[in-house]
Amino acid sequence: MKVAIVGATRGMGRALARRLAERGDALFLLGRDEAELARSARDLEARGAPLPVGQARLDLGEPAGFAAALDAADRSLSRTDALVVTGGLFARQDELAADPGRLSALLQANFTGTVLLCQQAAERLAARGGGLICAFGSVAGDRARRGNYLYGASKAGLAVFLDGLDLAYRDRGVRTLCVKPGFVRTAMTAGLPVPPFAGEPDAVARRVLAAMDAGRHDVYAPGVWRFVMLLIRALPRAVLRRVQF
Amino acid sequence: MDRRVESLSVEPGEEEVAGWGRHPVGRGRVERPERLALPAGAEPLVPRGLGRAYGDAALPSRPGGLVLETTRADRIHSFEPATGRLHCEAGLSLAEILRVFVPRGWFPPVTPGTKFVTVGACVACDVHGKNHHRDGSFGSFVDHVTLCTADRRLVECGPDRERELFLATLGGMGLTGLIVDVTLRLRRVESPWIVLETQGMASLDAMLEGLRLSATHWPYTVGWIDCLARGADLGRGILMRGRHATQVEAGTRRARRAMPLRVPFDAPEWLLNPVFVRWFNRLYAWSHGTALRRRVVSYDAFFYPLDAVGQWNRLYGRRGFLQYQCVLPRAAGPRPVAALLERLGVAGAASFLAVIKDCGPASDAYLSFPMEGTTLALDLPNRGAVTEALVHDLNATVIEHGGRVYLAKDAVTRAEDFARMMPRLAEWRAVRERWDPGHRFRSAQSVRLFGDAPA
């Protein structure tokens, strides 16, 4: 595969890019911090990605730059066949509730920016016969929680979009995979209380890779979250209220 | 027991921090950045890798102190296939180096008994392995280290630049600056397999002689000895020697996927009682016999047998254990080694097996542990004051014969005793003062051994 990836410098994206590199997939890195992109590009080259691993600046908050970034990936990879978006923003509910600017930036990156980027990429891929779009939602988007619904809403919206993208484009050869991680121990979640079933980035990466190869349209990681969320979605609202969910 | 529970009342934003021996237990604010840098200000901190140092080397100097865990800074900057030179961030683990580079025919030049250690920690402890008699310690293969010093500057050091800082950093327990990047030379190997020969040894003299004779032809040697054997059996054990298998010797064998085992909870303290351990050790020795055996094993089985059991440190119960490792100079002869084993036998301090190994010449690094002679490593279940007294007792013998203990294992050695063990301590202190006069890099161990203020 020839993969353009947003978010490969950190956390789950870093782990996933490494797994792709180790099996020899060609990579192109997109992100905000060029020095960090370069560091990760060298890391991925040393781990087996075909040389060179290119990079270009992309900010999910600046859709005007998307076309140029996708062009750069296409040039470097001589036609990309997959776009992976692991990047996104996160903040605690109280921080988001208190700061509309911050909330707006999060919604912009996690929802608006990611939707615009994936839609554009899907169209490009469809025009040349197909490919793969993979983006990271969250179990937080499966059902609202009082303590996390602002972040959750950005991921819920994204999940609906990705679901639709898969329905609309699969006939044209473009598969879409929506990854729904539960709590994963990364720098993003540092300092938060660690709930049960917490996952590790590399285990998530391996699961995502298997789901990509199998052509799935969604994957929970760790896998137990599919059943946990099935249960939580089925709980009556009255129960959620009572348990202060 | 209750004292420990009390110490665990962890404040918000803090977590329990302990070494692999799970004694002592502290608490700290643990930061795990993906990119290593020092925070602004001058708050003391302790760098920490994968937490495999047994004692208090990577515990904060005071409860709630700052701990900088490096494990997420694990990127490779470059690898030169022509020379084996690997330039990487300090949080990269040997396990990851093995996973990535063994299939390409490269191996860490020196490895301790666990692969779950970071490259930064290998430098900070100047770790040694089964090849010390031939290749020296980890530092011999380090071309260059990038440190973030107390004033937040990035400083490059190595054998040919800022040499004093380099020599103070190798074995300097992370107290000269935050190790950010390391360049080391990997070793070319033909296969992931090890040709292993094992032989039962009936006594300490036989074991020491076996190690000496094997040293000339074998890159890796080590002995396991039964610490509870007494009298004529003192030092009885199994000698192991290995080398990397050639492609022909490796043949077409494929690695088996190991069953992931894990100790799920703290074992009760009566589990590793002297009677059980005595019989375990006897069975282990008997099952082998005295014949010479030769076979081909995986590198995991040879170098990292204990890594196969996750959280094996729980076997010693919730009070944890102390690991004791010392080295005695060759000039002292086998007598003091025997004296240590006898002392342990009298104490009845149950240890599964002790590891014995001959070391080659010491390095130039001021606080590096190995010196030409014999090193002994063993576990002592923590029984409080009795166990500490035993360590001080063993230390007295070690000091008397010009030996020293290993800081990566140590939790209780007294400052004055350590000073007697390390002839170059004053030189190390002088370099540290030059680079970190305020002792920003500070650990529970440096408070105990170097007189740093806790806060």
Quick one: pLDDT at residue B9? 58
Residue B282 covered by a domain = yes
Q: Does A42 touch chain B (CB under 8 A)?
A: yes
Find the CATH number of the domain harbouring B374.
3.30.70.2520
Quick check: A114 contacting B, CB < 8 Å?
A: no
Name the DSSP letter for residue A215: T
Chain B residues with CB inside 8 Å of A11's CB? 34
> B interface mutation test: which of A39, A45, A202 has the most B CBs within 10 A?
A39
* Cβ contact B79–A46 (<8 Å): yes
**CB of A160 less than 8 A from some CB of B:** no
Closest chain A residue to B15, measured at CA: A191
Q: From the list B13, B72, B75, which residue is nearest A40 (CB)? A: B75
Q: Which of B383, B384, B381, B380 is nearest to B394 (CA)?
A: B380
Domain ranges of chain A: 2-242
Task: Let me know if residue B22 belongs to a domain.
Answer: no
Structure confidence at residue B295 (pLDDT): 92
Element (H, E) at B409: none
Q: Is residue B216 less than 8 Å (CB to CB) from chain A?
A: no
In a domain, B402, yes or no: yes
Is the pTM higher than 0.90? The answer reads yes
- Whether residue A194 has pLDDT greater than 50: yes
pLDDT at B229: 82
Over residues A58-92, the pLDDT tens digits come to: 999 999 999 999 999 999 999 999 999 998 999 99
List of chain B residues whose C-beta atoms are within 8 Å of the C-beta of residue A187: 32-34, 72
pLDDT value of position B8: 47
Enumerate the residues of chain A whose CB falls inside 8 A of the CB of residue B31.
190
pLDDT for residue A214 is more than 60: yes
Question: Given an 8 Å threshold on Cβ–Cβ distance, is B100 in contact with A42?
Answer: no
What ipTM does this complex have?
0.93
Domain with B368, as residue range(s), is 193-413
Kindly tell me the sign of the dihedral angle through the C-alpha atoms of A216, A221, A223, A228: negative
What confidence tier does A170 reach under pLDDT thresholds 50, 70, 90?
very high
CA distances from B25 to A230, B4, B29, B51, B317 (A): 40, 8, 14, 12, 14
Q: Does A22 touch chain B (CB under 8 A)?
A: yes
Give the CA-trace dihedral at A149, A155, A157, A163, to 10 degrees.
Answer: -140
Cβ atoms of B215 and B359 closer than 8 Å: no
DSSP letter at B118?
B
Percent above pLDDT 70 for chain B? 96
Number of cross-chain residue pairs from A and B with Cβ atoms under 8 Å apart? 31
Question: For B310-333, how does the pLDDT look when each residue is reduced to its tens digit (9 = 90+)?
Answer: 888 888 888 999 999 999 999 999
Say if residue A122's pLDDT is above 90. yes
Inter-chain touch A43–B76, beta carbons under 8 Å: yes
Strand B373-381 with B354-359, pairing:
antiparallel
Shortest distance, CA A190 to any CA of chain B (angstroms): 8
The pLDDT of A106-116, averaged and rounded, is 97
- Whether residue B103 lies within 8 A of chain A, CB to CB, comes out as no
Residue B32: predicted pLDDT? 94
Which residues fall within 8 angstroms of residue A235, CB to CB, at 6 or more apart?
A245
Query: Is residue B34 within 8 angstroms of chain A, CB to CB?
Result: yes
Inter-chain touch A39–B79, beta carbons under 8 Å: no
Residue of chain B nearest A201, judged by CA positions:
B72
Instruction: Please count the structural domains in chain B.
Output: 1
Which pLDDT score, from 0 to 100, does residue B3 have?
A: 39
Helix (H, G, I), strand (E, B) or coil at B376: strand
Using the beta-carbon criterion (under 8 Å), do A39 and B32 form an inter-chain contact? no
- Residue type, position B250, single letter: A
Round to whole Å and give the CA distance between B162 and A52: 34
Determine the pLDDT at residue B5.
38
Using a CB–CB cutoff of 8 Å, tell me whether A40 touches chain B: yes
Which helix (H) or strand (E) element contains residue B384? none
For the CA atoms of B36, B41, B43, B49, the dihedral, rounded to the nearest 10 degrees, stands at: 0
- Per mean pLDDT, which range of A19-23, A226-230, B175-179, B342-346 is the poorest? B342-346
> Do the chains contact at A11 and B34, CB–CB below 8 Å?
yes
Nearest to B33 among A22, A42, A187 (CB): A187
Place of tokens 């692991």: A86
> Which residues in chain B have Cβ-Cβ distances shorter than 8 Å to A39?
75, 77
**pLDDT at residue B350, as a whole number:** 61
Whether the CB of A86 is below 8 Å from some CB of chain B: the reply is no
Residue of A nearest to B81 (CA): A46
The three-class DSSP label of residue B380 is: strand
Render each residue's pLDDT in chain B as its tens digit; 455 residues. Answer: 333 434 445 666 899 999 999 999 999 999 999 999 999 999 999 999 999 999 999 999 999 999 999 999 999 999 999 999 999 999 999 999 999 999 999 999 999 999 999 999 999 999 999 999 999 999 999 999 999 999 999 999 999 999 999 999 999 999 999 999 999 999 999 999 999 999 999 999 999 999 999 999 999 999 999 887 888 888 889 999 999 999 999 988 887 766 778 888 888 877 777 777 777 777 777 777 777 889 999 999 999 988 988 888 888 888 999 999 999 999 999 999 999 998 887 777 667 678 999 999 999 999 999 999 999 999 998 989 999 999 999 999 999 999 999 999 999 999 999 999 999 999 999 999 999 999 999 999 999 999 999 98
Domain annotation covers residue B286? yes
The token pair that represents A54 in the structure block: 């290119």
> What CATH class does A2-242 carry?
alpha beta
Q: What is the pLDDT of residues A35-62, one digit of tens each?
A: 999 999 999 999 999 999 999 999 999 9
